[in-house]
Every structure is written in structure tokens, then in C-alpha cells.
Structure 1
Amino acid sequence: MSSINRPLAGPVLAFDLGEQIAALRAEEPYRRSGRAGRTLAKSGRFRLVLTAMSEGNEIGTHQADSPMTLQVVQGALTFRSSGEEYTLTAGQVLFFGPGEAHDIRATEASALLLTVSATGDDYRPEELANAQASA
């Protein structure tokens, strides 16, 4: 479904993730590269992106400009950041802040939901460090 034929913003949007994932896996980019994604919703600097990945597919290391969450909807994947590796399976969510270098690898056919928030808003590493130090 192209973005021309579907709304990306509105007061309420509902999605059947199973149907969306099946549609992504049927698309040419998925058949060609083992990965396909679709922005489900956007509002200002907020984005909700669904990505389907085949087993072994990788999203290479890159920097995040804003805080994000990564929720595994189907399958399993590994997330690597700052020399640490996290294994995530369906139903698990990972939060990571801006500036973190990371890469993602599907350890089986997987689908993930990425939530991207406003760039730099509400995240100040020095405040986080001070809060952790005083805890």
C-alpha cells in the first residue's frame, strides 16, 4: 500500500500488524533484499515504522538522532550498541537514546516496530548521568 493511498496522520489510526507484516513480505524490496519497511504514522517529528526482516538480514551500524524504542513484533533479533549486545524476542521492547551507534540483526524471520520521537527533546545525557549518580 503506498503512502498516497493511506493516511499517515490523523486523530486516531489503527493497524493490524499481522496484515501489515504479510504485505511487507510480499513486496519486491523484501524479496530482493530480505528487508522492507513502512512508515505507519507520522506527526511532526514523531514516526512509527514497521520493518520486516528475513533471517540473517542486518541493518548496519548508524547513529540515532533522537530517542527511539524498538519493539520486536515477530521473531528474534540482536541489537548491538557501545560494545554490548542485546537479544530481543517477540513482545520485548528496547529503548535507546540519541547518539548511540547500533546495528540490528534478525536471528530468524522477524518484524520490528520502531518508534522515533522528536530530535533531542527531553533527553540530556548530563541530566541522566546526574540522576544515576544521585540514585
Structure 2
Amino acid sequence: MDVIDLKSREVFSYEGRGVASLVDEPNLKIRQVGLEPGKEVPVHMADAPVTVQVVRGEGVFSAGGESVRMGPGKLLRIPKGAQMGIRNESMEPLVFLVIKTPLADEPERDSVLATKPGTFVNLIDFAPPKPGKEETFREWFHNSSQVFAKHPGFISRTLLGPIDGGSRYAAVVEHESKETFMDMHLSDDREELFLQVEPLVLGSSTPHFYETLLSYRK
């Protein structure tokens, strides 16, 4: 028996949004999402059948071009492939469960998804490391990548270094989908790790988001 205290797993850590992974099994994934008033989960494609249940508060849930305002006591079922999004238009926090049930007959996804169209790519343009902090910065990238690799949907994270006298670093992060990337992006891990790197660089880092269209590798 496994009892999960939902109240203790509420997260609002990143700009009023947060995600806690409660169950992560091959055919069952449950995440608890918290949204402060005015916050939202951007529209994205459901990569598996999804059931949404509100724990507390009230939100506007959209799927397949339709929207419904929903509070506790109801379930919303969303088919795989539907475009879905959530907004908290109320004055109170919204907490809800996202229950995914990947189809049992779906083949296991290989980690070599970088060659597949639709892969979500985040290109991070880091500010230059502070003098004497380059080795510490590289060590931070190595350690943080090991943490991020444990998140569902992670494919790869690559650090690019400067050449010809340059000073800026860049990183290429690949995820199976925008949804899995957002789960990682709103996690406690991401907030804590990027707070650690702030003292190591001269300024803010700039993210750029892309979708893989074609990829050829020898």
C-alpha cells in the first residue's frame, strides 16, 4: 500500500507554477500541478490519454477546441493527440492531478529520438562565466545534467564551448515533447540548479525554443 499526501506535495515554486511527480511507471504517470491566480499551463499536445482531476480551486481546462470551468468532484478525460491547456482565472490557487495512461501496446520509446520530427529543443545562450569560474561552471553543467536526465521525456543535454577567443557557452536540451520539457522546467530541481549557476556567470541566460523538423547524423 502506498499512501500519497497530496497537500504535502503541492508546489508553487517557479513564478507561481509548479509540478510534483507522484507516480512514474511505464503505464501510469501521475503529476500534481499547482497554479497561482493568473497562471497557466500553455496549450500542448497530449502524448497519451489523460485524466484531469481538480484537488482544490477552480480552473478553465481546454481540450480539442472546447473549454470547461471545473472544480473538485469532476473528472476530465482527454484523448491522446488532443491539444490541451489550463488557466487559473480565479482568485485562489488551483491544484489538480494530471493522470496519464500510456497505451500498453505502444512500443518503448528509444532514447535516440533526436532524429525524430517533433522533438522539443531548448537552445540556451549562457552569459559568459565570471573570471576563474569556468571549471566550476562546467562542473555545474555536468552535475545538473545528471539530475535533469532523471526527468521523464529527457533525451539529451549538450554543452557547447567558445572558440577563437570567445567567452560564451551554449547548451542544447532535447525533450520528447513540449509537455515533458515544461514539467522539468517548472520543477524544484530546475529552480534550485539555476539558482546555483547565477553566481558563476556575468548576467542572465537567454533561452530559445525550437521543434526538430529534420535531423541527419552519420
Match of 2:76 in 1: 94
Q: Give structure 1 regions of 4+ aligned residues with deviation exceeding 2 angstroms.
A: 119-122
Instruction: Output the amino acid matched with 2:47.
Output: D
What is the CA-CA distance between 1:19 and the residue it aligns to? 2.0
Cα distance in 2, alignment partners of residues 121 and 65 from structure 1: 14
Match of 1:14 in 2: 3
Tell me how many residue pairs correspond in the alignment. 104
Instruction: Output the amino acid matched with 1:58.
Output: E
Identity of aligned pairs, percent? Answer: 25
Q: Are 1:61 and 2:43 matched, yes or no?
A: yes
What's the secondary structure of 1:19's corresponding residue?
A: helix
TM norm structure 2: 0.45
Instruction: Output the amino acid matched with 2:49.
Output: P
Match of 1:112 among 53, 76, 96: 96
Aligned-pair RMSD on alpha carbons?
1.8
Match of 1:34 among 7, 12, 16: 16
Q: Higher relative contact order by CA 8 Å / sep ≥ 6: 1 or 2?
A: 1
What CA deviation, in whole Å up to 9, does each residue of 1:78-132 have, x standing for no partner?
Answer: 111222111111222101100101111012311001101114759xxxxxxxxxx
- Contact kept? 1:65, 1:120, Cα under 8 Å: no
Change (3 A) 1:121 1:100: farther
Q: How does 1:114-129 map to 2 (within 5 A)?
A: 114-119=98-103
Cα distance in 2, alignment partners of residues 95 and 120 from structure 1: 18
Q: Are 1:72 and 2:54 matched, yes or no?
A: yes
Cα distance in 2, alignment partners of residues 62 and 94 from structure 1: 16
What CA deviation, in whole Å up to 9, does each residue of 1:8-39 have, x standing for no partner?
Answer: xxxx3211112222xx23xx42xxx1101110
Consecutive unaligned residues in structure 2, runs of 5 or more: 107-218
Cα distance in 1, alignment partners of residues 42 and 86 from structure 2: 7
- Contact kept? 1:79, 1:102, Cα under 8 Å: yes
What CA deviation, in whole Å up to 9, does each residue of 1:34-83 have, x standing for no partner?
Answer: 10111011111421101111011111110011101000001001111222
Change (3 A) 1:73 1:82: same
TM norm structure 1: 0.70
Consecutive unaligned residues in structure 1, runs of 5 or more: 1-11, 123-135
What's the secondary structure of 1:38's corresponding residue?
A: strand
